[in-house]
Amino acid sequence: MSDLFDEPEGATPLDPDEREGLLLQWIETRADLNQAETANIEKGIVWAHRSRKAEILTEEFIRTLHKHMFGDVWAWAGQFRQTEKSVGVDPAAIAVDLRKLLGDVAYWMEHAIYPPDEIAMRLHRGLAWIHPFPNGNGRHARQMADMLARKLGQKPFSWGVGGVQSSAKTRETYIKSLRIADRDADFAALIAFARS
């Protein structure tokens, strides 16, 4: 089990208590964990597709989507984190900051403040910044952005899959473009990556 909790570059490490939430005893390596999470995420995406008419800009939906994406693997899926991380707001501020983000997104949509792709990327970046869950925040935020894009009449994003980059290079480009959005509030690189 030596590599099970070795996190890839840019990933959020789990605390020991969070690691105890692993539900599948057969998982011994990072590859096993990735396989189990991928299968669970695929089920979550199927659920999300069936829920496309639901009101997605609610705390309840955000928690439920995370639960559907990770609940077969992690006991804490769908529950806001209780611990500090190297990224994310203070755990006590998660619910308040999330309500503010969702209100902002609804306002941007109602008043067409930004183009649809930028609204979806601002939701994605906000969820990644708040970092509401112990893990799976980026994958969850990408699914939320895809769902919002569909609601805004756009195609879901490719998230760099259309390019010829390796997965390590794709992840590096994604994180770099997300940091530009964080630092400069410039979403052009993140939109370009997500649409590549």
Residue 22's contacts (CB-CB under 8 Å, 6 or more residues apart) are 33, 73, 74, 75
Neighbours of 145 (CB within 10 A): 25
What's the pTM?
0.92
Give the helix, strand, coil percentages of the chain, each rounded to 5.
Answer: 55, 0, 40
Q: Is 153 left (phi over 0), alpha (psi -120 to 50) or beta?
A: left
Q: Is 145 left (phi over 0), alpha (psi -120 to 50) or beta?
A: alpha
Predicted confidence (pLDDT) at residue 23 exceeds the cutoff of 60? yes
Predicted confidence (pLDDT) at residue 1 exceeds the cutoff of 70? no
Structure tokens at 3: 């590599």
pLDDT tens-digit map of 115-139: 999 999 999 999 999 999 999 999 9
pLDDT tens-digit map of 125-174: 999 999 999 999 999 999 999 999 999 999 999 998 865 456 888 989 99
